[in-house]
Every structure is written in C-alpha cells, then in structure tokens.
Amino acid sequence: MNLGTAEEESTAEEIDIPPDIDWQMLDKSKFFFLGAAMFSGVSASLYPAVVLKTRQQVALSQVSCIKTAIWILKHEGFRGLYRGFGTSLTGTIPARALYMAALEVTKSNVGMAATRLGIPEPSAAAIANAAAGLSAAIAAQMVWTPVDVISQRLMVQCGDSQKVSNAFSCKYLNGIDAFQKILNTDGIRGLYRGFGISILTYAPSNAVWWASYSVAQRLVWSGMGCFLCQKDDERDANGVNVEKNTLRPNAKTVMAVQGASAAMAGGVSALITMPLDTIKTRLQVLDRDENGRKGPSVGQTVRNLVKEGGWMACYRGLGPRWASMSMSATTMITTYEFLKRLSAKNREVLTS
C-alpha cells in the first residue's frame, strides 16, 4: 500500500512517495537469500550492545554500561563482546526468514482486507502493520526463544567479577555443549524457558512498533518532508518548464525519513517493554541450583529484582537496550526496505 500524501489537505503540495512493495511483487528466493546475508551483517554490528544489556540485567547490583564494557575488554578481550554470537547467528537466519515471511504475507492480506472494508488508507496501513508485526513476532519466537536461552547463557558466563551470580560460572564450552546440557537437565522445556513472557514482550512490542512506524512516517513527511524534497518539473509542448504541485523525494530523503521514523518507534518500544525484557532474560539464563530445585518463577524473579534495587532494577540495561533497539530499528528498516527493492520482480515499480 502507498503511503499517499503526507497530510492530505493540510498543504498545497503533495509528496509523491515511492509505492510500497508487497509480498506478490517480490522474488522470494532473492528476498530470503539477500535477507539472510544483509541481516547477518546487521546482527554482527549490534551484538556487543546486546551482550552489555544482558550482563547488566543479570548483575546482582547496578553496574554502568561503560564499566561493564571496560571490564569485558580488560578480562575477556574483544571476543568477550561476541560471546554466543555463533549460536545467535545460526538461529537468526531461520528466525528472520520466518519473521519476514509472516510480516509480508500478513501485511499484504490484512491491508487488502481493510481496504475492501472501506477503511481509510492511513488507518488501513496502521492496522496492517500492527497485525503483521504481531504475527511475525509470534512466528519468529518459535526459533528465537531457544536461541536466546543458549546465547544469553554464553554471554553471561564467567562474569563473576561484576557481582554476577555464581550460577553463571564457566560451564559451557560452546553453543552445542550448552544445548546438550540444557536438554539433559531440563528437557525441551528448558530451551523454551521464558517463551510465554517472550511472546508477551515481543508480540505487542512488534505490533506497536510497526503501527508507530507507519504513523511516524506520516508525521515526519508532513512536518519536514516538504523541506527536503526536490520539485518535480515537467516541460510542456513548447519545451517550457511547467512546475507541478508535487514534491518527489529522492532515494536519500526516503531512507532518511524511514530511518528517523524507525528510531522514534524503536526508542518508545524499548522504554515500554524494558521490565518484561529484564524478567525474560533472568528467567532464561538462571538454571537449576545445586540442590536440583527449579529456577525462579516470574513472581520470584520480580521480587528478587525489587529486593536488589527497587522497581528501577527492572530497567537495568535500559541504556544499551534503548541504543540497540533504536540503532537496530533504523538499520533494520533501511536494510529491509532496500532489500525489498532489490528483490522486486519488476524494478520499474521503484520509479513509478
């Protein structure tokens, strides 16, 4: 669906935004192959922020992001910022494929259904994006949750000097070893520890993010898009320039607006879902104790956090997560939109 004009009647000039590329327009094999390569690069660039966020969330006392980073670099080297990355990357590829497929199929179908029901295009776009984000998050969590459990345990082990619980001593050699030990200790349920709260965290978060992204784009276009766009001129039959009442943004402008809109949506989403993410992380990394008792429940985890640092303990790691989600949202959406244009069956759609 096309975003249409920035504000339909509020300005004298319309903004001619390039049309959106839906599921039917994509070359699926190119879409998934290029997507795996591009998002692997994005994941690699943002992974250190995830490690810092996770270390802060499981610490028994408040430790600043900078101190955490310095400690890791001093005692573990640069490789410490990429603990568990191999496992994360292996799971990210199929999870991203599921995410993108569910996202595009849902967005296309819900968008067309909403339009047929007579819902105005801006509202239909927001509804379609929200439904797509919700379904994509649920589908991807089937793969992401076990990957999160394993990679997060690798991230936090050997971190005793930062007042991290001794439950995180070095006991996993690699991702495969962690997988086998978790499976032997807790069974398949151990790999899906925190699955419910992951859905509660990511499904609404994705729905809000994609809906907010759709709305934010319109706000950005209406507020500043007209100042960044180039006038689209035409010549009449005599070769004289005739100025149209339409503004056509170039590719850089479109990318800048998409990135700014994504960062706005990502920052808000990080703030709203931070407590749930902290609880989820603790549930996923805490193992049985030496007496064989199960790890803490959601209620026990919340009580432990409040006991350690009050309700603000639920916001440990907010700085890295805010930065990570904002940067991730910006790079993800610009990469994603670029990927869709590269994967379009008919490249003429880009200039129409």
6 — pLDDT class (breaks 50, 70, 90): very low
Does residue 219 have a pLDDT over 70? yes
pLDDT digits (tens, 9 = 90+) for 151-205: 888 888 765 544 555 445 677 888 888 898 888 888 888 888 888 888 887 888 8
Query: Stretch 58-74: mean pLDDT, rounded?
Result: 82
> Comparing 234 with 246, which gets the higher pLDDT?
246
Does residue 270 have a pLDDT over 70? yes
pLDDT digits (tens, 9 = 90+) for 91-143: 888 888 888 889 889 988 998 898 888 888 878 888 888 899 889 989 988 88
Model pTM score: 0.67
Neighbours of 197 (CB within 10 A): 19
> What is the predicted pLDDT for the residue at 4?
44
> What is the predicted pLDDT for the residue at 16?
62
Does residue 234 have a pLDDT over 70? no
Q: Using DSSP bridges, classify how beta strands 230-235 and 14-15 pair: parallel, antiparallel or unpaired.
A: unpaired
pLDDT digits (tens, 9 = 90+) for 205-216: 888 788 888 888
Does residue 235 have a pLDDT over 50? no
> Comparing 11 with 159, which gets the higher pLDDT?
159
227 — pLDDT class (breaks 50, 70, 90): low
Q: How far apart are CA 107 and CA 131, in angstroms?
A: 7
Query: Stretch 261-290: mean pLDDT, rounded?
Result: 78
90 — pLDDT class (breaks 50, 70, 90): confident
287 — pLDDT class (breaks 50, 70, 90): low
> What is the predicted pLDDT for the residue at 206?
84
> What is the predicted pLDDT for the residue at 77?
87
